[in-house]
Amino acid sequence: MSEDRIILEPSWKQRVGAALEDPRMQALASFLRAEKAAGKTIYPRGSQIFAALDSTPFEAVKVVILGQDPYHGPGQAHGLSFSVPEGVAVPPSLQNMYKEIARDLSLPRPQGGCLSSWAEQGVLLLNAVLTVEHGKAGSHQGKGWEEFTDACIGALAEEREGVVFLLWGSYAQAKGRLIDSRRHLVLKAPHPSPLSAHRGFFGCGHFSLANRYLKQNGQTAIEWAPAAD
């Protein structure tokens, strides 16, 4: 995966562009080319693979919400974790996030599932794995993306102060090893999936806790109610 052929937002390219030259990333690029050559459908489309980084420059990041891998249904994935394009049905995990926002902040539940307004406010919506095969959740895990997103999280943890990291589920929480909780706010809860949300995601209060921390550190709070379609 040649660094000079990858279009990354400049502030991110400065910090993690070199990671694209790692042998694991070169192997990943070869894997993706082979999968496409075999006729497999890969989500999201190439221009959206790095959408999370493109949407939220390094110095603008206030909050990180770490997902696992992209949605694997047609038309769902567009490069932002938990988000879907406008007009696409809201997936169950995001529905549960909206339920917790409504409970936590007394906000109405949005109808749409596009979270670009969060990204524009400084919420980095980053999946640990940035691609997936159609219909096969987790199909690109262990192919090299984890090392790249580790580099993204590590750069934020090392160079920035006062970032809120929302780590939901064991997969996201594994990234916690990269973060100094004395310099950042690290909040952990079960994943908002219907399989686990009732084990502690509901009632976690992460959205209000994040805003309180941001305001205590001289930053503006996040408007957590995305505009309706």
* Alpha carbons 30 and 109: distance in angstroms, whole number: 42
Residues 6+ apart with CB under 8 A from 9: 50, 53, 54, 57, 58
Question: Using alpha carbons only, how large is the chain's radius of gyration in Å?
Answer: 17
| Beta bridge partner(s), residue 189 | 168
Per the CB < 8 A criterion, the answer to whether 63 and 164 are in contact is yes
From 69, 150, 180, 229, the catalytic residue: 69
Dihedral, 138, 52, 58, 226 alpha carbons, nearest 10 = -120
Task: Let me know if 69 is a catalytic residue.
Answer: yes
Q: List active site positions.
A: 69
